[in-house]
Chains A and B, each alone.
Chain A
């Protein structure tokens, strides 16, 4: 598969014209492959790049209320997934899959969360790494401005579940205005700008970043293995900054779907459900714009945290407490207040899908190109169950995933979905997970 960027080629284009004078650079090679809608020309067989998103919500769904009544094509959704009705042909739901504990402790919320995200059931409360998003980012998002973007809607940067190897935690951006500034601030290079003028000041930065990079050898000599891994992570991060600088010096390929959204001012944030929903909508839109403009190819978006602190204004209770302390309404058969928040989570996912679907790329939308993996920490939050863990995928993965399907598993590990997601995005792996969570079986029913 081709990528939009080709650093080596562009460097050659720029060579000799960067002496400091403002110059206008001609379009790079890729433009000859793109028509005015930004779609691939059939003759080349090239596609716009794969993109991925983890979408995270806390405290699962109530078993028996979210699954479609039948296996196979989704004709009807369960009451708790009804907010996704508009997108029922663009999603897949996976039920009946579980986290296998292998005799390890079921640490509430944490075990389910870590196991689904990493394919390994933790032995203790120590974080297991790497999470699936980082594996995917290393594969599909290494050549763009941001290897991944992390956004959380709760106002707390620690409410993010992305860990790189070595235990490096990637916190979430909690302030949409800060994310806007990061994405579309002065260092954003508009791919559709008529002219491109490389900035000599940006080139000047390169020499200094190179000097920082040169510190690596002498530093690594004097540290032990664990600290060396942390330094490696630092220098990997530095490489990304260098790459961002390189990209600022190149005329990007035009992207018809890329538009710059209106500026976002400072926003209030919090876990009151209406506030959080508003923040999440902004995050969803920013994610869509960032992906459409090829600023990143991986987004981690958190709706609510794993011990959900969602609440209604004026209420003493939060979602998490409701799941444990609210009685099941005998007539309804479920916890009404806890379920209110469950429904809001699914409405949040619908907001995200709508934001992606609103961006057209030729005769398709961003939702057709992306693969979203919806992940949560529990099956039935009321009892902290890690059975029947709800999992959702959305989007067509550039044509590699069939949608509108309910897959009803029979106690297989959750990793089957994770493996399917990775293979759909081209990761060269045949199996994923460890011990009883290890699997080499994808969900073939959804692979196109």
Chain B
């Protein structure tokens, strides 16, 4: 069970507890911040919490024994990231109704008689009457963790007063307090991460994030959750306004077990794994691809990424060639490799190295990629190629044109046994060829994997030809494609751009893009494409905290 912050303790005492748990596997942190010109920075962002962030914060603050019954509005993807979409999302009436329900359910659990000792450090003089002192103590403590900053006096007073009024309605202090807590949990200050800028005294004329906004940006970037008490303390005492303080906190965070959650969250977002929630395959053709199998497929890739990037401090590019992974017996049967359930546990994970002959080549050949980018009943080289271009290389594949004459595709010559034959018309019809030539040759290399991730060498009895080319580099099969991606600068540059957009919650400005291109990508290469080092380089740079208003905001301010 995950330990919650100790709501009954003092901030300082909790900080010690949090720090003590930070030495699981030391990441060799050697990088220092990358210098950035003064124009590099961007606007502040107001982001709605994602579902995962909401869940993580609740677990951090209240522990894993509370249950979170409720539903979330789907997260919106903008510029290929949910993290960026969150910066444009609001809360609909149906969504707020759910937040409100979850909040009241949580609050009921917090104030339940059997849980009070754990969560509530004080007791009212009379449990049937308001007690402002006790309510204030609880609401200010929880409020600080939820709002990621101390509540203002006005805010605290409003929630304490509301709790008192509620208590009077029902003659029950704890019920009133619970409603006050529910109010905090339904507040925009909790549901939105609202960044605040302030003049930078060290750089006259420039703006920076205020200390608590810095703490939040760091924490959601590296841990995908709200700042812990130690980080809030660093914001309060000014540590986050010094380079040494930022270094100290970033080092601490990179060496925390919570880094795994952060890395998982980033790749879940980048690889569009949220789509697993609605992924289904035809149950008659692919009976093994159950919801459990889909969950395992997603987890297989995340485990592989965490193991390679964090535990082994590996090179990001090797994710496209490695045959090392983790499997469950269920996945083993999907990939058609023999895997005995260890100790008779059918759900257990085991580390596994594919043979050269198994056709596997890095995460591209995981079911999480080939199944996610396919139709329910059959594979799709076009969807897979498009995803390779857009997700991994940050390239844009245009939408198909309107008013296409599809007559050519109905030609019996194009209804052959393999998808390569069926797609011939796309690459020969001028209106279609422009896009299909950049997607299909890559996607066809993955045709040894059916829509459910199963390995095959024939389609409708005909041997599958997996040869292809990417930007002039030819390959014979998926492992060749993996090697080409491994060596492609577009792949590593894309990761740098995606990480920065994810970290800031918005698309990079032109100045930031130039800085990423000219400085950060070189540092990434010099650090052996080590991802924790990339996170550190960004998290310790001044650019990451510098506020440069957007052109739209400047124009608006001048009017």
- The residues in B between 124 and 171 inclusive whose CB is less than 8 angstroms from any CB of A are 152, 154-155, 158-159, 161-163, 165-167, 169-171
Given that A204-B179, A230-B90 are known contacts, is A215 also in contact with B155, CB under 8 Å in the complex? yes
A100 partner residues in chain B, CB cutoff 8 A = none
Q: Say whether A212 contacts B187, CB under 8 Å.
A: yes
A272–B281 CA distance with the chains assembled, in angstroms:
10
**Secondary structure call for the A interface:** mixed
A70 at the interface (CB under 8 A from B): no
Instruction: Please determine whether B76 and A382 come into contact, CB atoms closer than 8 angstroms.
Output: no
Contact with A314, one of B93, B285, B401, B556 (Cβ below 8 angstroms): B285
Interface of chain A residues 256 through 290 with chain B (CB within 8 A): 270-272
A182 lies within 8 A of B187 (CB)? no
Out of A158, A178, A200, A226, name the residue touching B170 (CB < 8 Å): A200
Query: What CA separation (Å) do A149 and B94 show in the bound complex?
Result: 8
Given A222-B196, A328-B410, A383-B403, residue A20 in contact with residue B170 (CB < 8 A): yes
Q: Does B189 contact A (CB under 8 A)?
A: yes
Question: Interface-forming stretch among A78-86, A162-170, A402-410?
Answer: A162-170
Task: Check B158 against A271 for contact (C-beta < 8 Å).
Answer: no
B187 contacts A208, CB within 8 Å?
A: no
* Count of inter-chain pairs, beta carbons less than 8 A: 204
Q: A168 to B92, Cβ gap below 8 A?
A: yes
The docked-state distance in angstroms from the alpha carbon of A155 to that of B176 is 38
**Known contacts being A147-B93, A234-B90, A315-B377, is A225 close to B556, with CB within 8 Å?**
yes
A271 near B280: Cβ-Cβ < 8 Å: yes
For A169, the closest partner residue in chain B by CB is B76
| Interface: B489 (CB within 8 A) | no
Nearest chain A CB to B500's CB is how many angstroms away?
21
Interchain CB contact (< 8 A) of A171 among B94, B191, B399: B94
**Residue A386 is within 8 A (CB to CB) of chain B in the complex:** yes
Q: Cβ of B376 < 8 Å from any Cβ of A?
A: yes
32-74 of chain B: CB within 8 A of chain A = 43, 46, 71, 73-74
How many residues in A have their beta carbons less than 8 Å from beta carbons of B?
A: 81
- Rounded to whole angstroms, the CA-CA distance of A173 and B96 in the bound complex is 14
Q: Are B93 and A108 in contact (CB-based, < 8 A)?
A: no
Q: Are A384 and B403 in contact (CB under 8 A)?
A: yes
Asked if A336 CB lies within 8 Å of chain B CBs, one says: no
The reply to whether B282 and A150 contact each other, CB–CB distance below 8 Å, is: no
A325 close to B284 (CB less than 8 A): no
Q: Is there an interface contact between B377 and A324, defined as CB atoms closer than 8 Å? A: no
> Does A337 sit within 8 A of B, measured CB to CB?
no
Q: Which residues of B contact A392 (CB under 8 A)?
A: none
Q: Is B97 an interface residue (CB 8 A)?
A: yes
Name the A residues within 8 Å of B188 (CB-CB). Answer: 212, 215, 219, 231, 234-235
Which of A22-30, A57-65, A237-245 has 4 or more CB atoms under 8 Å from chain B? A237-245
Given contacts A270-B280, A316-B377, contact A244 B97 (CB under 8 A): yes
Which residues of B approach A to under 8 Å, CB–CB? 43, 46, 71, 73-74, 76, 88-97, 100, 104, 152, 154-155, 158-159, 161-163, 165-167, 169-171, 175-176, 179-180, 182-183, 186-189, 191-192, 194, 196, 278, 280, 282-285, 375-378, 399-406, 409-410, 412, 415, 422, 552-553, 556
4 A-B pairs besides A171-B73, A210-B162, A231-B90 with CB distance below 8 A are A20-B170, A147-B93, A237-B92, A324-B409
What are 26 residue pairs bridging A and B, where the CB atoms are less than 8 Å apart in the complex?
A105-B402, A146-B94, A150-B94, A155-B278, A158-B74, A204-B165, A204-B167, A204-B176, A207-B165, A207-B169, A208-B159, A208-B182, A212-B183, A212-B187, A215-B189, A230-B46, A230-B90, A231-B188, A233-B91, A234-B91, A234-B192, A241-B100, A311-B282, A327-B410, A327-B412, A383-B405
